[in-house]
Amino acid sequence: MRYLSVFFSALFAVSAMAHPHVWVDSQYRVNVDQATIETLEATWGLDLFTSTSLIVEYDVDGDGELTGQEKLDMIEVLKSFDQYGFFIKMKQDGADIVPNEVQVLDVRVRDQMLWIRLGIALPTPVNLETSTLSFAFGDDELYFAMEPLEEGLVRLSGTLSETCTPIEREAEETSVALWVDLTCKP
């Protein structure tokens, strides 16, 4: 844990520079088995430099994986992003909403990259047939570049997913790459 604290402290110390210091491929995953959703997930893939640095620090047995206590230690450190809302930006019908809870569900190494899976509990259930739920990621303070995965910022699954339409739109905020508005047909 000491390395991650030093690593992020160093990033904050040089944050006067106006370019990202950590690149994160990000995506929301929405399971639409019914029109009303209460939870969803998100994934982050950290850039190779950041991933390698963290894997070297936390992969104590050097097997290229984070297992057991290694994984628990990494998850504990990642909880510090709660103070930044995990960079989650969401709106319901244009009004900002803040998740009720965000949990680090898992951390894995895949293709030498560190992948983080987050569980997000919405503050109230959202009916996608009557409301628009908008998604973005953005870091206003730490110079993390939160970029959508190549396949898109929102990935849908579930029995009603084909009735739903995610529409990308440009972001007005400089810290946000883009927004995706999601609605479903009744």
Residue ranges of the domains in the chain?
A: 2-10+20-184
Residue 21 backbone phi and psi in degrees, to 5: -110, -20
Shortest CA distance to 51 belongs to which of 120, 107, 117?
107
Q: Please report, as a single letter, which amino acid is at residue 78.
A: L
Q: Which residues of the chain have pLDDT under 70?
A: 1-20
Residue 65, CA distances (Å) to 8, 68, 69 in order: 22, 10, 11
Q: Do 88 and 120 meet the contact criterion of CB atoms below 8 Å apart?
A: yes
Looking at residue 15, its pLDDT comes to 42
Enter the pTM of the model.
0.88
Q: Name the pairing type of β-strands 154-157 and 22-31.
A: parallel
Looking at residue 50, its pLDDT comes to 94
